[in-house]
Copies of this chain bind each other. A is one copy, B any other.
Amino acid sequence: MNRTRVVGILGGMGPAAGADFARLFVQACADRMRVLQIPVSDQAFPEHWLAQVPVPDRSTALESPGLGGHQPLEPMLQAMGKLAALGATAVAVACNTAHAWHGALQERFPQLEVLHVAREVAHTLAGRGVKEVGLLATAGTYRAGLYDQALRQAGLQCHIPEPEERERLMHGIYHGVKVGNMALAHDCFAGVAEALARRHGLSTLVLGCTEIPLALGAQRVVAGLDGLDLIDPALLLARALARRAYATAA
């Protein structure tokens, strides 16, 4: 009856974002069933496992690659191995910055597909005819050029905030979302988003850190951000994972 494939979610970076990704995935599965005309029931969802494991800070590791660049990789490899043992055929990593290690994860586990969040976003936006976007992300994601590269390959231009604005985003992530101060986080993110969009005349912003939509994207109307299309990469990644889970059920 249930012809879906087992999939995995590598989370814990942070744990709130991982749990939110599981919610988005469940919603994406229900949407997928409606498209495939499969009646929605508990038993029609694919088996999926959320691994929430402690992983050293990704941005810090990317700032000092000599000292700690390998540190986040080891626990991610261990959790990925356990997801593979559980039968996962595809895994989504619920953290943008962690995709700096995407190549190493995919190379070690050739038997499963490790989805790439920036490539999924670039592919989707190119399909919608978008030509340029602004990117809100962590220092680590900017440094690794994750979105730059994926967007450029898909023919899109990527604008990033000024250095002091990037620091303000990090402040909102670490002193806001990660410790539960959503009001502070919202102030930081909305201020930078508005300035970036106005400076370049943008209508599309990519919220390229899983923590940012938790404070900004949840409330669909953000003061001063009316008319802006806020792209939540986690949402697109969740939909991509649901497509993999139902690939054999169509």
Contact = CB atoms under 8 A, between A and B. Distances in A.
A27 B16 CA distance: 8
Interface stretch (A35-43, A144-152, A189-197): A35-43
Interface stretch (A51-59, A108-116, A123-131): A51-59
A55 B82 contact: no
A67 interface: no
B23 A42 contact: no
A83 to B, nearest CB: 10
A52 B54 contact: no
A47 interface: yes
Contact of A23 (B19, B54, B82, B178): B19
Nearest to A4: B54
A178 B54 CA distance: 32
B40 A180 contact: yes
A187 interface: no
A14 interface: yes
Interface of A: 2, 12-16, 18-20, 22-23, 25-27, 29-30, 40-45, 47-57, 82, 86, 178-180
Contacts of A49: 49-52
B30 A23 contact: no
Contact of A42 (B25, B26, B57): B57
A82 B49 CA distance: 11
Contacts of A27: 16
Contacts of A47: 12, 52-54
Nearest to A1: B54
Q: Which 9 A-B pairs have the closest CB atoms?
A: A50-B50, A19-B22, A14-B42, A19-B23, A15-B26, A15-B45, A43-B54, A48-B52, A47-B53
A44 B55 CA distance: 10
A181 to B, nearest CB: 10
Nearest to A82: B86
Given A16-B23, A19-B50, 15 more contacts: A12-B42, A12-B47, A13-B42, A15-B29, A18-B22, A18-B26, A19-B25, A42-B54, A43-B56, A43-B57, A45-B52, A47-B52, A49-B50, A49-B51, A50-B52
Contacts of A14: 42, 45
Given A19-B19, A82-B86, A86-B82, A45 B54 contact: yes
A86 B168 CA distance: 38
18 contacts: A2-B54, A12-B42, A14-B42, A15-B29, A16-B27, A18-B26, A19-B22, A19-B26, A23-B23, A26-B52, A30-B180, A42-B54, A42-B55, A42-B57, A42-B178, A45-B54, A47-B52, A50-B50
